[in-house]
Amino acid sequence: MGENQHIDILVLPETNLILLASVIEPLRAANRITGKNLYRWTLHSPDGRPVETTSGVPIPVSAAFRPARETDPLFVLASYNWKSAATRDLKFLLSQTARHRASIAGIESGSFILAEASLLDNVSATTHWEDFDDFSRAYPQVGLVRERFVIDAKRITTGGPLPTLDLMLELIRRAHGHSLALEVSRLFIYEQEPIQNEPQDRPTIGNTGSVDPRVQTAVKLMENTVEAPLPLARLARRSGVSIRHLQDLFRQTMGVAPHTHYLALRLNAARRKVIETRASFADIAAETGFNSASAFSRSYRASYAESPSETRRRLRLTPRHWAGRNSLQTERTNI
Decide if 110 contacts 78 (C-beta within 8 A).
yes
**Rounded Cα distance, 202 and 70, in Å:** 44
Residue 30 CA to its chain's centroid (Å): 9
pLDDT tens readout for residues 29-85? 999 988 889 999 999 999 999 999 998 999 999 999 999 999 999 999 999 999 999
Tell which residue, 152, 146, 149, 114, has the closest CA to residue 131: 146
5-178 and 205-317 have identical folds: no
The CATH architecture annotation of domain 205-317 reads Orthogonal Bundle (1.10)
**Rounded Cα distance, 262 and 218, in Å:** 10
What is residue 276's predicted lDDT score, i.e. its pLDDT? 85
- Region 102-112: mean pLDDT is 97
The upper half-sphere exposure of residue 55, i.e. CA atoms within 13 Å in the direction of its Cβ, equals: 8
Residue 202 burial by Cβ neighbours in a 10 Å radius (0-12, 13-18, 19+):
middle
**Rounded Cα distance, 270 and 308, in Å:** 9
pLDDT tens readout for residues 147-165? 999 999 999 999 999 999 9
**DSSP secondary structure letter of residue 131:** G
- Measured in degrees and rounded to the nearest 5, phi and psi for residue 171 equal -65, -40
Helices (H), the chain: 17-34, 88-97, 110-116, 132-138, 161-176, 178-187, 213-224, 232-239, 243-253, 258-276, 281-287, 293-304, 308-317
Decide if 24 contacts 323 (C-beta within 8 A).
no
**Rounded Cα distance, 297 and 300, in Å:** 5
What is residue 317's predicted lDDT score, i.e. its pLDDT? 57
pLDDT tens readout for residues 266-324? 999 999 899 888 999 999 999 999 999 999 999 999 999 899 999 998 887 554 443 33
**Rounded Cα distance, 77 and 237, in Å:** 46
pLDDT tens readout for residues 219-276? 999 999 999 999 999 999 999 999 999 999 999 888 899 999 999 999 999 998 998 8
Q: Where are the domains of the chain?
A: 5-178, 205-317
CB atoms within 10 A of CB 153: 8
> 5-178 maps to which CATH number?
3.40.50.880
**Rounded Cα distance, 206 and 149, in Å:** 15
Q: Which residues contact 300 (CB under 8 A, 6 or more apart)?
A: 267, 270, 271, 274, 307, 308
